[in-house]
Amino acid sequence: MATKIERDEVSGVDTTGHVWDGIKELNTPLPRWWVWIFYATIIWSVGYWIAYPAWPTLTGYTKGLLGYSSRAELETNMTAARAAQAANLDKIEAMSLVEIKADANLLQFAVAGGKSAFAVNCSQCHGSGASGAVAYPNLNDDDWLWGGTLDALQTSISHGIRDMRDDDTRISDMPAFLSDELLDKTQVAQVAEFVLSLSGSEHDAAAAKEGAMLFEENCAACHGETGQGDQEQGAPKLSNQIWLYGGDRATIVETISYSRKGMMPAWNGILDEATIKQLTLYVHSLGGGE
């Protein structure tokens, strides 16, 4: 509470009446124009309430005469962005992959679009950095089951792998040698040793020698004589360091015994042509494209 209002001798102004440790404060009047500006800001704010969304009601809020909404503004911006992209997307739809790749600006647009489509559609299996996991191929490396050329990638993405909803889906059919009783346990083990030798891994030489003959009879038809693989059939290359399910002895035995039948969705009913092309270009740009 103001206790003791005094008039200061020097300036002729009243003090506020409060004293803090002997310190007093002058109560110099504010200039009147300051007050008018303050009133103006109050009137302005009332105008703001009328023009823009302002006050909550029991069930909603006052919408304002201008009908402004930040969601509507977002929608307008999104529509404008989509319209701006439409020109490029139309071009991508019309041009071939090779043609798009030749146009530097369009390629940059397509790869960026592919990257964001990848994050939404593909990263769940292939990983956020496309480096995959056990049973999900790493799209960054230079090893491809079905081919890493632009056309091969587009086909894989469009028709998927073993997606029976698509008539043209890619299918590879490796027998389950143990459960189909084509080989017995010992034979499977021998083949496994031979497979290990193909990639230069540590192996049992004697067993591998036995396995070589079995391999030639049972496996070479798809995987090739030297295990070089066959992208036409989706047969992996066994003579390199990349293993989709694991390159250790136990895993190879398991693969030979029970086979592997991985599945990838066919995207041509789900994503439009332009998006699939963008995904193709994106995956091709990751460093292992052929």
Partner 1 sequence: MAMVQQLPDDNHFVDVKPVNKKENRQQGSALYAKRVKIHPRRVKGLFRQLKWYIMAGSLTVYYLAPWIRWDRGPDAPNQAILIDFPARRFYFFFIEIWPHELYYIAGLLIMAGIGLFLTASIVGRAWCGYFCPQTVWVDLFLVVERWVEGDRNKRIRLDRAPWSLEKMFKRAAKHSIWLLIALLTGGAWVFYFADAPKFAVELVTLHAPFVAYATVGVMTLTTYVFGGLMREQVCTYMCPWPRVQGAMVDEDTMTITYRGWRGEPRAPIRTKRSAPLPEGAPEPGDCIDCNHCVVVCPMGIDIRDGQQLECISCGLCIDACNTMMAKVGRPANLIAYDTYRRDKLKAEKSEVQETHLIRPRTLVYIGLWCLVGIAMLFALATRSTIEANALRDRNPLYVQLSDGSIRNGFTLKVRNMLPREREMILSVRGLGNSGILMPDAKETDIVVPITIKADSVLSQHFFVVAGEVGAKISAKEFTFRLMDSGDGKIIETDAIFRGPAK
The single residue listed with the structure tokens 């009137």 is 43
For position 166 contacting partner 1 by CB under 8 A, the verdict is no
Q: What are phi and psi of 246, to 5 degrees?
A: 130, 140
Choose which of 33, 43, 58, 60 interacts with partner 1 (CB under 8 A): 33
Q: What's the maximum distance between 2 C-alpha atoms anywhere in the chain?
A: 116
Sole window of 44-52, 123-131, 203-211, 252-260 interacting with partner 1 (rule: CB under 8 A): 123-131
For position 27 contacting partner 1 by CB under 8 A, the verdict is yes
Residues β-bridged to residue 7: 14
Choose which of 24, 53, 103, 143 interacts with partner 1 (CB under 8 A): 143
* Residue 240 beta carbon to partner 1: minimum distance, rounded to whole angstroms: 4
- H/E element holding 16? strand 15-20
Query: Is 275 buried (19+), middle (13-18) or exposed (0-12) by CB count in 10 A?
Result: buried
For position 273 contacting partner 1 by CB under 8 A, the verdict is no
22 or 31: whose CB is closer to partner 1? 31
For position 104 contacting partner 1 by CB under 8 A, the verdict is no
Choose which of 1, 10, 43, 205 interacts with partner 1 (CB under 8 A): 10
* Whole-number Å distance between alpha carbons of 244 and 170: 17
CA 75 to chain centre: 23
* Residue 30 beta carbon to partner 1: minimum distance, rounded to whole angstroms: 5
For position 285 contacting partner 1 by CB under 8 A, the verdict is yes
Tokens of 280: 């193709």
> CA Rg, the chain, in Å?
36
Choose which of 85, 242, 254, 259 interacts with partner 1 (CB under 8 A): 242
Choose which of 47, 67, 129, 269 interacts with partner 1 (CB under 8 A): 129
For position 151 contacting partner 1 by CB under 8 A, the verdict is no
CA 205 to chain centre: 44
Q: What are phi and psi of 5, to 5 degrees?
A: -80, 125
In our burial notation (b when 16+ CB lie closer than 10 A, e otherwise), range 124-158 reads: eebbeebebeeebbbbebebbbbbbbbebbbbbbb
Choose which of 131, 228, 251, 259 interacts with partner 1 (CB under 8 A): 131
Tokens of 46: 């009332």
For position 31 contacting partner 1 by CB under 8 A, the verdict is yes
Residue 188 is classified by DSSP as: H
3 or 11: whose CB is closer to partner 1? 11
12 or 22: whose CB is closer to partner 1? 12
For position 127 contacting partner 1 by CB under 8 A, the verdict is yes
Q: Under DSSP, is residue 274 helix (H, G, I), strand (E, B) or coil?
A: helix
For position 30 contacting partner 1 by CB under 8 A, the verdict is yes
Q: Which residues of the chain form contacts with partner 1 (CB under 8 A)?
A: 5, 9-14, 27, 29-35, 127-131, 138, 140-143, 237, 240-242, 285, 287-288
